[in-house]
Structure 1
Amino acid sequence: MTVRKLPVIGFAVLMALTSLGASAQSAQGSPQGAASGEVPKAPPTTKQAKALIAERFKAADADHDGKLTRDEAQAGMPQVYANFDKIDAKKSGTVTERQIGSYWMKKTKDQMQKEDPIWN
């Protein structure tokens, strides 16, 4: 069961790390007590996560060539920029949406293994 959750968790982590900060700004404006009684939102499905990542990648890809340069990543996906050298394993100077997804999936899998090595 844990193996099936891995893609969803990976995409959820990716979405959280690549967010543009809009949700953080809205959370700062709400009182602390308001969110404590609410049920947390379920993580998005894999399909929803892929769509959101694709949307953010498309917005960050200024020249629409299917690749992000370091400058495009810095402007549109700050967490990708912060990990650009790790994601760009081929050292081509650009990263694709697929490379970003692969990097975050591996990172999530490694974290899950570290947290619970028996089940992962």
Structure 2
Amino acid sequence: MTVRKLPAVGFAVLMAFTSLGAIAQPAQGSSPPAAAPGEVPKAPPTTAQAKALIAERFKAADANHDGKLSRDEAQAGMPQVYENFDKIDARKKGYVTERQIGSYWMKKTKDQMQKEDPIWN
């Protein structure tokens, strides 16, 4: 009797997880809610949204539109990048690119996930 119930129970659990995932996902094209002025914004839930956010902020901070952020541009437009400028600019060129910033934050996120739950990450 339990052998016949096992596939049905497994299917029911699978359907429950997929329906929860569909409910939890935001609508396509929607952005995460903005944080209050003094509040640190929450991390975007997806990699695509994180990339879009970095690209948007990078474009706004790149005053001379050369595709690079100098230390001064980072200080004015992306304070967290300015605080970690030397870590992001590993080759010591005096500027950082959008790609370098994205790589740095992805590594930081992965390291944080590993620290929080080393078994699964």
TM-score by length of 1: 0.64
Aligned to 1:96: 97
Aligned to 1:117: 118
Higher helix share: 1
CA distance in 2, matches of 1:42, 1:110: 15
For the residue of structure 1 that corresponds to 2:113, the secondary structure is helix
Change (3 A) 1:96 1:87: same
Q: Is the 8 A contact 2:88 2:104 kept in 1?
A: yes
For the residue of structure 2 that corresponds to 1:53, the secondary structure is helix
Aligned to 1:23: 35
For the residue of structure 2 that corresponds to 1:73, the secondary structure is helix
Aligned to 1:105: 106
Could you tell me how far 1:55 is from its partner in structure 2?
1.1
Higher relative contact order (CA 8 A, sep 6+): 1
Which 4+ runs in 1 deviate beyond 6 A?
none
Change (3 A) 1:83 1:65: same
Matches within 5 A, 1:31-46: 43-46=44-47
Q: What is the identity, as a one-letter code, of the residue corresponding to 2:75? A: Q
Could you tell me how far 1:114 is from its partner in structure 2?
1.0
CA distance in 2, matches of 1:47, 1:112: 18
CA RMSD, Structure 1 to Structure 2 (Å): 2.2
Change (3 A) 1:45 1:112: closer
Could you tell me how far 1:69 is from its partner in structure 2?
0.2
Aligned to 2:81: 80
Could you tell me how far 1:42 is from its partner in structure 2?
9.3
- What percentage of residue pairs aligned between the two structures are identical? 87
CA distance in 1, matches of 2:74, 2:108: 19
Q: What is the identity, as a one-letter code, of the residue corresponding to 1:25? A: P
